[in-house]
A = this chain, B = another copy of it.
Amino acid sequence: MEGEGAIGAFLDFVSPNDTFGEKTWENAERKMVEDTLTSLLEKSAVSADELDFITGGDLLNQCTATSFGCAGFHAPFLGLYGACSTFVEGLLLSSILLEANTARLGAVLASSHFSSAERQYRFPLEYGCQRTPTSQRTVTGCGAALLRRARKKDENCLAVVGARIGKIVNNGVKDANHMGAAMAPAAADTLVSFLKDSSTTPADYDWILTGDLGAIGATLFCELCAKENVDLSGKYLDCGTQMFSPEQDVHAGASGCACAAVFTCGRLFKTWKTLRKNRILLLGTGALLSPMTLQQKQPILGIAHLVFLKGESGCSM
């Protein structure tokens, strides 16, 4: 579905099935991580032992797709859990590891898998449950980026030149099929406070992207920003609305750790230069919950981390 969707043309590899030659969905996701890291190293002409760190995570309990997928590379590993904000949390932390001169070269990745996520968070696929109109489809995919300390200007690279760590926002949403509503207030909080602190407005950027708010969450996000006098017209795109085509009937759009990761490493990295998108704000949006917290009637918490990517000078990614 990802290959046939709106993002299809930007993907390096599309599997004809969701098992990737493995017997379980969880192993399929682990295999995606391995293959993506292998492909990243090949494309970058870097060997695994040159990596000062790999960081990332996924949605599986105990983030096992990432740890098992990374184990064979024998590189220093930092596990993250930021739900679907993980990829941007990884970019943020990696750029600081490089900035502090504690590392020269690192990889960031995030993965998710529709079938492993459905089994863990919702219902076994075999039940054939109907999905509500506000629900989103978890992206089956993995995105990985290489970050290196800026040495000289490289016009083919985007640089991480700013970031903001998100705060947890509790909006009281308890519907696990309405994640966009749970995450939108966190995304608005992070973006509005970043713009305020940096004394900038959307006019200062070419693109403002959110990870996986979906169609409904993206609308809520724009409304919340408008209330704070932040007008996103003509600048804003949610990765969750850009993964699948309308005919694919995924209701409110795409979600999952892979949503922001695949959009960033696929469409963004491959088109920013031709589209002249030189100043980009990328917000990773995450819903902090577990099946257990839902059963125990807890709300879904939202979080959103932000990185400012710049294409004019320096080289980081």
Contact = CB atoms under 8 A, between A and B. Distances in A.
B61 A167 contact: no
Interface residues of A, number: 50
Nearest to A165: B76
Interface in A254-294: 288-293
A231 interface: no
B77 A168 contact: yes
A52 B96 CA distance: 14
A83 interface: yes
A79 B78 contact: no
Contacts of A53: 165
B82 A82 contact: no
A296 interface: yes
A300 to B, nearest CB: 10
A168 B81 contact: no
Contact of A77 (B165, B290, B291): B165
19 contacts: A60-B290, A61-B61, A61-B292, A62-B290, A64-B292, A67-B288, A68-B288, A74-B168, A76-B167, A77-B166, A78-B80, A78-B82, A78-B93, A78-B165, A79-B303, A81-B81, A93-B93, A96-B97, A99-B100
Given A67-B168, A77-B165, A78-B93, 5 more contacts: A64-B289, A64-B298, A68-B288, A78-B165, A99-B102
